[in-house]
Structure 1
Amino acid sequence: MRTSQSPAAPAVPAVVPGDREAGPRGRLPGMAMMFGSGLSNQVGAATGALAFGVLGPAGVVAVRQWVAGAVLLAVGRPKVRAFTWRQWWPLLCLAAVFATMNLSLYTAIDRVGLGLAVTLEFLGPLAVALAASRRAVDLGCAVVAGAAVVALARPQPSTDYAGIALGLLAAVCWASYILLNRTVGARLPGVEGSAAAAGVSGLLYLPVGIAVLAHHPPTATALACAATAGILSSAVPFLADLLALRRVDARFFGIFMSVNPVLAALVGMVVLGQSLDWVEWTAIAAIVTANGVSVLR
């Protein structure tokens, strides 16, 4: 939801309108890039989840942040020595939110599964879209999304309330991520701000990662899965979204992002063997529809 998205979604890169390739010829490749971005993001998260048994969610996130930070720093090449405090403070906040978002999301994935965790996280951008509106249709979208969350959290013996709370924390982080990213994008050129934030986030995880890896000796396979998550869930979506936004407008991009919870549920079922019941599928569909209607309006 790869803004960045996600994270699990990276920031949505800023694009100059004049750079967009207009017409069907531009939109078709743009759609392919957006679909590839969403699929890469969810496959990366599922691949990282395969290492939970060895590294735990915190260890996987630490390795992911290191890899993502290194890749994005190489791409963005931020001139950090020239940054002013006015540029640094939102960047540091963005890095902290980025780090918290991924840890809460991956811990939620470990507890409630990929599909439900990403669906709950997706409430973040939906909340940002609805917050400034007073239209009846947007109020209806908020009610639908709220009802879907209630359905997902319906009391039963197997309900993991901690996992649901972590998914909602990831949603709060994603909403904050979007708002902070707007400020960073306005104060720093190109992708320098997002790249620097990813690098700082990687530094924040150095003590965490060292402590976790010291207590949970990693295997080569687990490290490879975590590193793959960093590439597929951060670097690839970031670059794919950057190219896609040169071919499609922001509204269409926002609508297409709604496919992420569905992709997460399908990838979770295929890669991790996590099945959903009809109530959970209905709740996912309701949240996706609410987001699509909100963006269209």
Structure 2
Amino acid sequence: MLGSGLSNQVGASVAALAFPVLGPVGVVAVRQWVAAAVLLGAGRPKLRSFTTAQWRPVLGLAAVFAAMNLTLYMAIDRIGLGLAVTLEFLGPLTVALAGSRRRTNLVGALAVAAAVVVLTRPRPSTDYLGIGLALLAAVCWGCYILLNRTVGKRLPGLQGSAAAAAVSGLLYLPVGVAVLWLHRPTVPALLCALVAGVLSSAVPFLADLLALRRITAHFFGIFMSVNPVFAALVGLLVLDQHIDMASWLAIAVIVTANALAVGTVAQHPKEKKAP
């Protein structure tokens, strides 16, 4: 789990190194192609046998997958890795909080709201477009979780996720080719994009798969909370992106709220809402 979270955030930081040459769109295109290759090899979906009822959530998942990565990378380009990933993390946190009506989670939601205010407080250097893109990525991640549940119920194994990744890769094919044609990639930039695709798609996918064979899903969900912390640390060490103490405290509040929310839902499954 440590390897998965760290690989994902290091991959994002490596991707940011290619932004000046390829831009976020070009880097995301390469990442989507890598993800499609990995998931198609692992899931081997039988596309011809899919019914309309199965294709519908798969196509929705593909669109959300494509939009989530694009908005996140565009946000990273504008507001930095730590802040962008923390705001994106509000997506799964909202899903977790919505799964319980306990008072502790209501308090957690209020604490998270206060933390978000701290993270996005107006300053001379505040990039509101970047914040908006990160919040849009959060919405996409929340939808991604809910659609994944539906896909998992309608299709066996990894077939649904693999098909969605393939469609997402196809969506980026004309856009990615156009971007790479207009912004001729240098060898270092292209290598950064490829490495980002491997570190942020292939490695986390395989690591998560192995981890989930050994631990419970709710513990895995709790441990996902380290991603904003890893993002802030990697942004500092790799990209020299500094955040102030108030932002660190806000990240800590969001991480703690997620851990409590996921743990509470796991202990009280009857409170979960129907998908």
TM-score normalised by L of structure 1: 0.87
Choose from 214, 223, 237 the match for 1:247.
214
Aligned mates of 1:198, 1:231 — CA distance in 2: 14
Aligned mates of 1:162, 1:47 — CA distance in 2: 22
Letter in 1 for 2:30: V
Alignment of 1:123-272 (within 5 A): 123-272=90-239
Letter in 1 for 2:33: W
- Residues 88-97 or 71-80, more deviating: 71-80
SS for the counterpart of 1:68 is helix
SS for the counterpart of 1:97 is helix
Aligned mates of 1:65, 1:216 — CA distance in 2: 18
2:60 is matched with 93
Aligned mates of 2:191, 2:63 — CA distance in 1: 25
1:15 is matched with none
- For structure 1, the residue ranges without an aligned partner over 5 or more in a row are 1-33
Aligned mates of 1:220, 1:66 — CA distance in 2: 18
Letter in 1 for 2:255: V
Q: RMSD between aligned alpha carbons?
A: 0.8
2:45 is matched with 78
Post-superposition Cα deviations, 1:156-191, rounded to whole Å, max 9, x if no partner, equal 100111111111000000000000000001111111
How much has 1:212 moved relative to structure 2? 1.2
1:8 is matched with none
Aligned mates of 1:293, 1:133 — CA distance in 2: 11
Letter in 2 for 1:82: S
Post-superposition Cα deviations, 1:190-245, rounded to whole Å, max 9, x if no partner, equal 11111111111000001111221122111111111111111111111111111111
Query: Which is helix-richer, 1 or 2?
Result: 2
2:70 is matched with 103
Aligned mates of 2:95, 2:139 — CA distance in 1: 10
Q: Please state if 1:277 is matched with 2:237.
A: no
SS for the counterpart of 1:274 is coil
How much has 1:35 moved relative to structure 2? 0.7
Aligned mates of 1:201, 1:166 — CA distance in 2: 19
Aligned mates of 1:143, 1:55 — CA distance in 2: 39
How much has 1:132 moved relative to structure 2? 3.5
How much has 1:133 moved relative to structure 2? 2.4
TM-score normalised by L of structure 2: 0.94
- Residues 172-181 or 189-198, more deviating: 189-198
Aligned mates of 1:125, 1:64 — CA distance in 2: 22
Aligned mates of 2:206, 2:93 — CA distance in 1: 23
Identity percentage of aligned residues: 73
Aligned mates of 2:238, 2:99 — CA distance in 1: 38
Aligned mates of 1:259, 1:79 — CA distance in 2: 35
Consecutive aligned runs of 4 or more in structure 1 exceeding 6 Å deviation: none
Aligned mates of 1:197, 1:221 — CA distance in 2: 29
How much has 1:105 moved relative to structure 2? 0.2
Q: How many residues align?
A: 264
- For structure 2, the residue ranges without an aligned partner over 5 or more in a row are 265-275
Aligned mates of 2:185, 2:161 — CA distance in 1: 29
Aligned mates of 2:146, 2:262 — CA distance in 1: 16
Alignment of 1:285-296 (within 5 A): 285-296=252-263
SS for the counterpart of 1:150 is helix
SS for the counterpart of 1:94 is helix
Post-superposition Cα deviations, 1:95-148, rounded to whole Å, max 9, x if no partner, equal 000000000000000011101110001000010011242221111111111111
